[in-house]
C-alpha cells in the first residue's frame, strides 16, 4: 500500500521542492519508504507501506530498458496468477511484489492490462519515449486518485494535498460540488470541492499526451448467467467469498478483521477463521451505554470463533475534539459522514497489532442492506396517495418528540415522509443525505435546485432494485464509504481490504434477481441464507445498526462547545458561502431539541474546519448577486439574534 504523486513539466519547469513537499504531505500513507523519479518531462514519487516482500519492491519502479516508470498504490490479489502468465510469456521477476506484476502486465498487455487486475489500485505510468502518462483506478473506487489539468500539464496524486503542493494551483471552492455535498453528505466523482481538481472515476483510465487528455472506461461489468435458484446462488456465493477472503489474507505483515458483530463483518470472519490455523485477530469499537452499542453481539461472535479480540469503547469523555481536528488534515476533502470518527479510533486501535485488516464494506450496496431500499418500495405505495395526505403525514411525523438515538424513529419518519413528496430518484439520495432542498436554499448563497437533480438523473429506477444499487455502488460507496475508510485507515498507515468488492462477487450480485437480495423485509437475503448454518442466530436476525456516533446526542452534550466554537458567525461569514441566521437557527433548534439536525451540523462543522485548514476560498470572480445580498441583509435585520451559549 502506498501513496503516489506526479507532475509533468514538458512545457513548463516544475518549481523547486514541489515533488518533495508533495511526498511529505502523504508520508502517512507509506512511512516505510519514499522514492522519487525525475526527468526533464516528469517528476514522480511514491511512499510505501510494506505489505509483501518487505525487503524489495520500493518505488518508483522502472522497466528494464528504463522507458516506463511506475508508481502504484494498492494490492493486486490475483498477482500470482498474472505472474505465472507473464513468466510463460518470457518476463523475469526479481521480487515477490505485485508492483512488479503491474509493470510487466502493462509492458505485455498495454492499456488493457487493467481489466485483468483483481484488486484495489491507483496507478501512474510514464512512457518516456512517447511522453505519455497513463493513470488508472480500480473498478470499485477503493483507492483514490486525483488529477488537475493545468496550463498544458497534468498533476496527480493519491490525495488532494499532493496537488496543493504545486504553488500555481489555486484553492478555490467548487460551488457545484459544494451544492452536492450539502445535499448528499459527500462529493460525487468526478467533482471535488476544489475547482479545477477532479477525481478519476472508478474503473477509468486517463491517457495524457502532448497536453491533451483522453478518458476510457475499462471497468465494465461482466454479464453472466443468473443462478437458477436461491440454493444455487448461496452455493456459488460460498465459493466466491471463500476465494476472495483467502486471496486477501495473503500478506507478510500481521492481519486482522474489523468486527462489528453484524452480518457482513461476521461473514468475513467466518471465512478468515476457516483459512487460519491460529486464532484470528479482531478489532472493534463499542458505544457502551448508547442505544447503538453492539458490544454484546461483537463478543458473542468473537467467542464463537475464538478470536484474539481487542476493542475500544468510544464514549463522550474520549478526546473527541482532538481527533476531529486531526481528521481535518487527513480527510483531504470534508466528509459529512460522522462514521469517520469511530473509523479513526478503530484504525488507531488496529494499527497497534496489525498492518492489514479485512472489512465488510460493500455488502450493503451489493445485496441491498440499507433501509433506503425498503423505503423505495414503501414510498412507491405512499405516492399513490394525494399530496395533501402525504403532507399531513409529514406534519404528524414532524410533531413527534425528538429522540437522541443515532437514527431514531422520529428522524426516520420525518425523512421518509419528506422523501415521499420527492421523485423516487431524489428521495433515494435524500434518505442518505442531509439538507433538504428547502433547507439548502435557506443556508447556501449559491444553491442550485437543479444541480443534484441533473446528477441523480443517472439513476435508473425503471430497472428496479438494481438501478438503485448501481447508482449507490458508483457514487455513495466510492465517494462516501470507501473514501472514509481509506482516509481514516491510511492516516494510521493501515491497509483495509474489502473481500465483498472482489469483481467476481460484484458481477455475481448484479446477476441476481431482486428478490434474492431484498426479499420482503429481509435484506441481503442470499447472504443470510448462505450464513444460516454458519453464524450464531442472533447475528442473522438482528437489525442493521450502522457504524456511526450518536451525533444528535453528543452535539447536545460532550461536543456542544466544540460545535459552538467551530460553527461561529465569524467562521461562517468568512467563507462568503452561507447565510448565518439560517445556520444559527438550525443550531438553536437542535440544541433546544426541536429538531435532530446532528448530521447537517456535522457536515457544516467539518466543512468549515477543512476550509480553514487548507485555505480554501470563494473564487474572486464569483460574486453574490444584489438580490442575494438584499435577502441576506433582510434576514439579518428581521431575525432576532439567537443566544448560542454553552450553558
DSSP 207: E
pTM: 0.93
Residue 119 Cα distances to 77, 204, 345, 421, 620, angstroms: 5, 14, 26, 41, 42
DSSP code per residue over 264-294: HHHHHHHHHHHH-SSPPEEEEEE-TTSTT--
Alpha carbon 322 to chain centroid, angstroms: 22
Angle at 313 between CA 311 and CA 315, to 5 degrees: 165
pLDDT value at residue 631 = 43
DSSP 116: G
Tens-place pLDDT, residues 220-258:
888 889 999 999 999 999 999 999 999 999 999 999 999
Residue whose cell numbers read 451489493:
366
Tens-place pLDDT, residues 247-297:
999 999 999 999 999 999 999 999 999 999 999 999 999 988 777 778 899
pLDDT band at 331 (very low <50, low <70, confident <90, very high): confident
Give the residues across from 75 on adjacent strands: 120
From the list 379, 382, 333, 355, the residue with the least C-alpha distance to 607 is: 333
Tell me if 175 sits within 8 A of 154, measured CB to CB: no
Find the largest Cα–Cα distance for the chain. Answer: 78
From the list 2, 145, 73, the residue with the least C-alpha distance to 479 is: 145
* Cα 237 from Cα 526, distance rounded (Å): 8
Mean pLDDT of the region 366-382: 95
Mean pLDDT of the region 136-141: 98
Would you say residue 124 has pLDDT above 80? yes
Mean pLDDT of the region 593-602: 93
pLDDT value at residue 1 = 66
pLDDT value at residue 542 = 80
Residue whose cell numbers read 402525504:
390
pLDDT value at residue 641 = 37
DSSP 4: E
Please provide the average confidence, as pLDDT, over all residues in the chain: 92
Contacts of 612 (CB under 8 A, 6+ apart): 328, 571
Tell me if 408 sits within 8 A of 552, measured CB to CB: yes
pLDDT value at residue 634 = 38
- The better pLDDT of the pair 83, 633 is held by 83
Would you say residue 595 has pLDDT above 50? yes
Residue whose cell numbers read 493513470:
135
Q: The C-alpha cell of 533 is what?
A: 448454518
* Cα 167 from Cα 142, distance rounded (Å): 29
Q: The C-alpha cell of 539 is what?
A: 447475528
* Cα 58 from Cα 38, distance rounded (Å): 16
Would you say residue 56 has pLDDT above 50? yes
DSSP-derived 3-state class of residue 483: helix
DSSP-derived 3-state class of residue 400: coil
Mean pLDDT of the region 425-445: 92
The fraction of the chain above a pLDDT of 70, given in percent, is 95
Residue 374 Cα distances to 60, 106, 346, 545, 546, angstroms: 48, 44, 30, 15, 16
Mean pLDDT of the region 41-68: 92
Angle at 118 between CA 114 and CA 124, to 5 degrees: 40
Question: H/E/C letters for each residue in 56-98?
Answer: CCCCCEECCCCCEEEEEEEEECCHHHHHHHHHHCCCCCCCCCH
pLDDT value at residue 175 = 96
Tell me if 488 sits within 8 A of 327, measured CB to CB: yes
pLDDT band at 619 (very low <50, low <70, confident <90, very high): confident
Tens-place pLDDT, residues 20-51:
999 999 999 999 999 999 999 999 999 999 99
DSSP-derived 3-state class of residue 381: helix
Mean pLDDT of the region 386-403: 92
pLDDT value at residue 411 = 84
From the list 325, 322, 317, the residue with the least C-alpha distance to 558 is: 317
Tens-place pLDDT, residues 104-119:
999 999 999 999 999 9
DSSP-derived 3-state class of residue 147: strand
From the list 116, 242, 123, the residue with the least C-alpha distance to 503 is: 116
- 2-173+193-217, CATH topology level: 3.60.20
For the domain covering 230-368+473-541, report its CATH number. Answer: 3.40.50.620
Given its phi and psi angles, is residue 593 left (phi above 0), alpha (psi -120 to 50 degrees) or beta? left
Stretch(es) of the chain classified as CATH 3.40.50.620: 230-368+473-541
Distance between first and last Cα of the chain: 47
pLDDT band at 506 (very low <50, low <70, confident <90, very high): very high
Mean pLDDT of the region 357-386: 96
DSSP code per residue over 574-586: HHTSB-HHHHHHH
pLDDT band at 402 (very low <50, low <70, confident <90, very high): confident
Which sign does the torsion angle of CA 513, 514, 515, 516 carry? positive
Stretch(es) of the chain classified as CATH 3.60.20.10: 2-173+193-217
Would you say residue 635 has pLDDT above 80? no
Q: Say how many residues make up the chain.
A: 647
pLDDT value at residue 622 = 65
Element (H, E) at 248: helix 230-248
Residue 307 Cα distances to 88, 254, 350, angstroms: 41, 14, 14
pLDDT value at residue 646 = 36
Would you say residue 591 has pLDDT above 90? yes
pLDDT value at residue 215 = 97
- The better pLDDT of the pair 561, 550 is held by 561
DSSP 253: S
Amino acid at each position: 500500500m502506498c501513496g503516489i504523486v506526479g507532475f509533468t513539466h514538458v512545457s513548463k519547469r516544475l518549481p523547486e521542492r514541489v515533488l518533495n513537499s508533495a511526498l511529505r504531505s502523504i508520508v502517512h500513507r507509506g512511512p516505510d519508504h519514499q522514492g522519487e523519479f525525475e526527468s526533464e518531462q516528469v517528476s514522480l514519487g511514491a511512499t510505501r507501506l510494506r505489505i509483501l516482500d518487505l525487503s524489495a519492491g520500493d518505488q518508483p519502479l522502472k522497466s528494464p530498458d528504463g522507458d516506463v516508470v511506475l508508481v502504484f498504490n494498492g494490492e493486486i490479489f490475483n498477482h500470482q496468477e498474472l505472474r505465472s502468465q507473464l513468466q510463460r510469456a518470457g518476463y523475469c521477476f526479481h521480487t515477490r511484489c505485485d508492483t512488479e506484476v503491474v509493470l510487466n502486465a502493462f509492458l505485455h498487455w498495454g492499456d488493457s492490462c487493467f481489466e485483468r487486475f483483481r484488486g484495489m489500485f491507483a496507478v501512474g505510468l510514464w512512457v518516456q519515449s512517447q511522453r505519455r502518462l497513463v493513470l488508472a483506478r480500480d473498478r470499485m473506487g477503493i483507492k483514490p486518485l486525483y488529477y488537475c489539468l493545468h496550463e498544458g500539464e497534468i498533476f496527480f496524486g493519491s490525495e488532494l494535498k499532493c496537488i496543493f503542493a504545486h504553488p500555481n494551483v489555486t484553492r478555490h471552492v467548487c460551488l457545484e460540488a459544494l451544492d452536492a455535498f450539502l445535499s448528499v453528505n459527500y462529493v460525487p466523482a468526478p467533482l471535488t470541492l476544489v475547482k479545477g481538481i477532479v477525481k478519476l472515476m472508478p474503473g477509468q483510465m486517463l491517457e495524457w499526451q502532448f497536453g491533451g487528455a483522453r478518458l476510457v472506461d475499462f471497468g465494465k461489468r461482466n454479464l453472466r448467467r443468473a443462478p437458477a435458484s436461491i440454493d444455487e446462488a448461496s452455493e456459488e456465493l460460498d465459493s466466491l467469498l471463500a476465494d476472495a477472503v483467502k486471496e486477501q489474507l495473503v500478506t507478510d505483515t500481521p492481519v486482522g478483521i474489523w468486527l462489528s458483530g453484524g452480518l457482513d463483518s461476521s461473514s468475513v470472519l467466518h471465512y478468515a477463521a476457516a483459512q487460519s490455523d491460529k486464532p484470528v485477530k479482531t478489532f472493534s469499537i463499542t458505544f457502551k451505554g448508547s442505544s447503538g452499542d453492539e458490544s454484546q453481539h461483537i463478543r458473542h461472535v468473537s467467542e464463537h470463533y475464538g478470536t484474539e479480540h481487542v476493542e475500544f469503547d468510544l464514549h463522550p469523555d474520549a478526546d473527541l475534539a482532538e481527533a476531529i481536528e486531526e481528521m481535518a488534515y487527513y480527510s483531504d476533502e470534508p466528509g459529512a459522514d460522522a462514521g469517520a470518527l469511530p473509523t479513526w479510533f478503530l484504525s488507531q486501535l488496529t494499527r497497534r497489532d496489525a498492518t492489514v485488516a479485512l472489512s465488510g464494506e460493500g455488502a450493503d450496496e451489493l445485496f441491498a442492506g440499507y433501509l433506503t431500499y425498503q423505503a423505495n418500495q414503501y414510498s412507491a405505495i405512499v405516492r399513490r396517495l394525494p399530496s395533501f395526505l402525504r403532507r399531513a403525514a409529514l406534519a404528524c411525523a414532524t410533531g413527534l418528540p425528538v429522540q437522541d438515538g443515532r437514527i431514531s424513529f422520529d428522524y426516520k419518519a420525518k425523512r421518509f415522509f419528506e422523501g415521499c413528496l420527492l421523485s423516487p430518484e431524489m428521495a433515494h439520495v435524500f434518505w442518505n443525505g442531509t439538507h433538504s432542498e428547502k433547507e439548502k436554499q435557506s443556508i447556501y448563497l449559491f444553491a442550485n435546485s437543479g444541480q443534484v437533480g441533473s446528477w441523480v438523473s443517472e439513476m435508473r429506477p425503471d430497472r428496479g432494485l438494481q438501478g438503485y444499487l448501481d447508482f449507490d455502488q458508483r457514487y455513495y460507496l466510492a465517494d462516501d464509504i470507501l473514501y472514509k475508510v481509506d482516509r481514516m485507515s491510511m492516516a494510521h498507515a493501515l491497509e483495509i481490504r474489502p473481500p465483498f468488492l472482489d469483481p467476481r462477487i460484484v458481477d455475481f450480485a448484479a446477476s441476481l434477481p431482486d428478490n434474492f437480495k431484498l426479499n420482503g423485509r429481509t435484506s441481503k437475503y442470499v447472504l443470510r441464507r448462505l450464513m444460516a448454518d454458519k453464524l450464531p442466530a442472533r447475528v442473522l436476525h438482528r437489525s442493521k445498526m450502522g457504524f456511526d456516533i450518536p451525533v444528535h446526542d453528543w452535539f447536545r452534550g460532550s461536543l456542544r462547545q466544540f460545535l459552538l466554537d467551530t460553527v461561529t458567525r465569524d467562521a461562517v461569514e468568512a467563507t462568503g458561502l452561507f447565510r448565518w441566521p439560517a445556520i444559527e437557527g438550525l443550531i438553536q433548534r437542535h440544541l433546544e431539541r426541536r429538531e435532530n439536525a446532528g448530521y447537517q451540523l456535522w457536515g457544516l462543522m467539518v466543512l468549515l474546519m477543512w476550509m480553514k485548514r487548507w485555505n480554501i476560498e470563494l473564487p474572486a470572480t464569483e460574486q453574490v448577486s444584489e438580490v442575494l445580498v438584499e435577502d441576506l441583509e433582510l434576514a439579518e435585520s428581521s431575525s432576532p439574534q439567537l443566544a448560542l451559549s454553552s450553558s
